[in-house]
Structure 1
């Protein structure tokens, strides 16, 4: 018993230990205290006098180790700050800053610096969340306001986590709540229209968070249907002195309320301590994962606790394919015929990667290849019938409804909520010396058009969302 529940090493024996060793020693002391209690509970008794003495001695050591951990964390933070400053001072002097932003009179102005919360980059922020921040910068960030807790990320670092949150088509008041807020300089400085991994957000109608950021918002949607693409408004020529006709517009509503979504990743404590090196790795990984998660929800979501996707939209137009598990030229032409005419210039094809062989071998009525014309040096074309095409794994495979779709995504609404927020935990993988990093934010998305539209001829149905379906039964 005495050997198994021996006291932890004397304080002088761990006085020179590293921070990680101190953390490990603290865990061992805790386990010894827990073993004393568990043994007494299993035997249905209180602690013996000897066990109480052992427990009290362990408690004294635990408190002493806690103090040494706090000191070690402060020393580590100082060393990191000095090392970062030294690295910056050793860098060659950069060329004189030349602002590229101009005001209304054409005079260059320096862009306003975004709030960074006092951190050099996202990596240092995560390091502070995980190991503590003796400078007290975390005290100035919002904390614990989201369902998952955490710190609000300062605006300066948002671009390292999320794609652009606001589309230039919309302008509303913006507010941030929940967790630790990310500083402004980490958000994107421009719309990510060229981001290869983001399909929906750069093309959608994006509503910023507003105040309160996670509140439900309701938008009008034209109940167009059989009343024509102009929402049931009848236009008539009026003779002199004749009575003006009545007009009516039947409106439906689209409601959006941001849902919380979280992304997690695991990094070693050793990497995280070197926050300057960890910054690009962590931010790049999180950014791509979070953009992919949004795209999948915006394209295929069922609306239960998440956005409603374009493929299953009530306002979509489903075109039956000619042959099961195939895509032929007639299928694509029929999809083009079902697209809202005004959407041709802003539409995009979204196809599963498994369709690439089918599309590459598309032929006309006399058997000529029409997508790739026999020249392998030119690569895969970026358009199909003059409309951009995106190959992805975010939509269903070949043969399923929605394996290829033709969408005018400007008719898709995205409502941003609070966030992003960040949290870090050592407890889950403590023995492996690893940290779990969680980033979470709030967002909702829904198609704006609620049913297929009927053109002015009163017969032809179209939609800004056209999907290829399975063959006619």
Structure 2
């Protein structure tokens, strides 16, 4: 590939997406995200084409080809940096607008003033790369076994208050900016992680406030404080909020990633591919812990939470089914103040049942069903989004399959506290997959989590209420 062909490609890209040009390079700040992603793919193809040509001819790169590759890599990094600098800033999530009946979603005051999970994650990690240009270069330094002064072992220097380090296990600390790039997309894109309350952990344990619902309280307010009415000059009684101290202890989770050495050392796209793989694995692991963790060596998840309410199946309900009565009873047991932020989570193989849920229509006497309708119950939106009774619905394979207890849950995940340590590390083995010419990396994250609730709340009147409900088993 010659400089003329490279110039032709650049001209083609500029025709597709006209931008201002700084020197000989486009000003990527004016490109949209889709065009930037296309540019990354194009640049990667260019570099691979040059290398492939040399390999077919059994020779090293010529000086001109090496210079071309260097320019491509520099251009690639400029695009990557532009994408990284944008992060999740400026992204707006359009609120769902049900077209039929159901629950109207509203934004609470707390949601407006409290940072969301993605914002908290972004704020946790300073823009420090430890001198590495990208994640691939950091991981290549780990695998090279030549030693690199930029690699750091022990507690990160930006967190002087930490009381324990990770150096004794031999792992190298992930530069905080790269860790933010791994975790950030997971928290932005996940319908579960994006809703939890993230608590930064600057030591191996942290104490946070939870709700103490051991006593019923008049008015049904969460927190145990009630309004008291008094006449002029009448003494008011002292009240103490029903708050309990909850300790989270960081627990270790690992993500294993096998990487071919060709990708690690040769591909300009390695950084993006590695980040996407690690982000997806971390996302799934954290979601699974939040949903199903038993609290032993991992977070305590929704299915094992003491405050959850299990909704029983209907009389004579067929095995492996979900019906209208199931879902309205689940909604009815969520605390009303939490409903606007609640979300359904279901195992993917429940979809056929959910698609066919109907609101039954009874005869005048109310003695039998004479029909039903679908649209006001289950709805599909733009881009493959779903809602059930007007509340968002997301899927997770971490939940049990259709018919097992917990195949469908409804929860306000803002009531779930996820403690995250900032000192993640990566270990590397070049021997484990030596015969495959692969390096094996192990990303170590430490986190803990549990809900604020110690048990379901008994309001002044009516049935107990909670932050999370689930369906019981409906086996044959």
Same fold (TM over 0.5): yes
Change in CA separation of 1:343 and 1:139 when aligned onto 2, cut-off 3 Å: closer
Matched, 1:318 2:339: no
Alignment-derived partner of residue 387 in structure 1 = 391
Deviation of 1:378 (Å):
8.0
Alignment of 1:134-283 (within 5 A): 136-138=149-151, 145=166, 148-162=169-183, 164=184, 192-193=187-188, 195=189, 198-210=190-202, 212=203, 214-223=204-213, 225-227=215-217, 228-274=220-266, 276-283=268-275
1:280 alignment partner, SS class: helix
SS of the counterpart of 1:293? helix
Matches within 5 A, 1:434-473: 434-457=438-461, 459-470=462-473
Q: CA RMSD in A?
A: 3.7
Please identify runs of 4+ aligned residues in structure 1 that moved more than 6 A: 81-84, 90-94, 97-102, 372-379
What is the SS of the residue equivalent to 1:453?
coil
Whole-Å separation in 2 of the counterparts to 1:443 and 1:397: 27
Q: Which residue of 1 aligns with 2:144?
A: 131
Q: TM-score, normalised by structure 2?
A: 0.65
**2: distance between equivalents of 1:443 and 1:373?**
37
**Residue among 403, 406, 426 paired with 2:407:** 403
Q: CA distance change for structure 1 residues 399 and 281 in 2, over 3 Å: closer, same or farther? A: same
CA deviation vs aligned residue, 1:214-270 (integer Å, no higher than 9, x gap)? 234243423354223344434331123333234343433322111011111212223
Give the superposition deviation at 1:344.
1.4
Where do 5+ consecutive residues of structure 1 fail to align? 1-80, 103-110, 165-187
Query: Residue 150 and residue 249 in structure 1: after superposition, are their counterparts in 2 closer, same or farther (change >3 A)?
Result: same
Shift of 1:158: 1.6
2: CA distance, partners of 1:331 / 1:90 = 55
Could you state the TM-score of these two structures normalised by the residue count of structure 1? Answer: 0.66
Q: Which residue of 2 aligns with 1:73?
A: none
Shift of 1:89: 5.5
Is the radius of gyration larger for structure 1 or structure 2? 1
Q: Answer yes or no: is 1:327 the counterpart of 2:317.
A: no
Question: Residue 395 of structure 1 aligns to a residue in which SS?
Answer: coil
Q: Deviations over 1:98-139 (max 9, x none)?
A: 99889xxxxxxxx99922222121111111110045663225
Q: Deviation per CA, 1:192-224: give whole Å up to 9, x if none.
A: 43x0xx2332111111122x3x23424342335
2:342 aligns with: 347
Distance 1:139 1:375 in 2: 50
Query: Which string of whole-angstrom CA distances, capped at 9 and with x for unpartnered residues, describes residues 272-309 of structure 1?
Result: 22253322222211110111000000110000000000
Equivalence for 1:414: 418
Deviations 1:293-327 (A, max 9, x none): 00000110000000000122111111112224211
Q: Quick check: 1:372–1:381 contact (8 Å CA) kept in 2?
A: no
**Cα distance in 1 for residues equivalent to 2:248 and 2:144:** 38
How much does 1:401 deviate?
A: 1.6
The 2-side partners of 1:337 and 1:127 are apart by: 53
Within the candidate set 410, 423, 427, 2:431 is matched to: 427
Q: CA deviation at 1:380?
A: 5.8
Partner of 2:72: 87
Is the Cα–Cα contact under 8 Å of residues 320 and 472 in structure 1 kept in the other structure?
no
Q: CA deviation at 1:379?
A: 8.3
2:332 to 337, 358, 363: 337
Corresponding position of 1:29: none
Alignment partner of 1:360 out of 355, 358, 381:
355
2:348, 2:413 → 1: CA distance? 20
Q: Which has the higher contact order (CA 8 A, sep 6+)?
A: 2
C-alpha contact (below 8 Å) 1:234/1:248 kept by paired residues: no
Distance 1:136 1:425, change over 3 A: same
Q: Which runs of 5+ in 2 are unaligned?
A: 1-65, 91-122, 157-164, 362-370
Measured in 1, the distance between the counterparts of 2:469 and 2:178 equals 37
| Rounded Cα–Cα distance in structure 2 between residues aligned with 1:375 and 1:205 | 28
Cα distance in 1 for partners of 2:425, 2:73 equals: 28
CA distance in 1, matches of 2:77, 2:306: 59
Q: Are 1:350 and 1:392, in contact at CA under 8 Å, matched by a contact in 2?
A: yes
Give the Å deviation of 1:87.
3.1
